[in-house]
Amino acid sequence: MAASVRALAPAITLVAAVGAVVLLATSSEPVERLHPTLEDAAAAQVLEHDGQALSSILDSREKSISGPRYIDPAGYSLSIVGLVRSDTTLSYEQVIADHEIHQRVATLDCEEGWGVTLLWEGVLVRDLLDRAGVLPEAKIVIFHSVDGYSTSLFLDYLYDNDIILAHRVNGVPLPPELGYPFQVVAEGKWGYKWSKWVHEIEVSDDVLYEGHWESQGFSNKADLDEPFLD
Q: Are strands 52-53 and 77-82 parallel, antiparallel or unpaired?
A: unpaired
DSSP conformational letter for 174 = P
The per-residue pLDDT for range 78-110, each reduced to its tens digit, is 999 999 999 999 999 999 999 999 999 999 999
pLDDT band at 30 (very low <50, low <70, confident <90, very high): low
The answer, yes or no, to whether residue 76 has pLDDT greater than 70, is yes
Contact criterion met (CB below 8 Å) for 182 and 122: yes
Write down the pLDDT at residue 64. Answer: 75
* Average pLDDT of the chain, as a whole number: 87
Write down the pLDDT at residue 149. Answer: 95
Write down the pLDDT at residue 145. Answer: 96
Cα distance between residue 93 and residue 63, in whole Å: 28
This prediction's pTM:
0.85
Write down the pLDDT at residue 26. Answer: 35
Say whether the peptide bond before residue 181 is cis (omega within 30 degrees of 0): yes
Percent of the chain whose pLDDT exceeds 70: 87
The per-residue pLDDT for range 174-224, each reduced to its tens digit, is 999 999 999 999 999 999 999 999 999 999 999 999 999 999 999 999 999
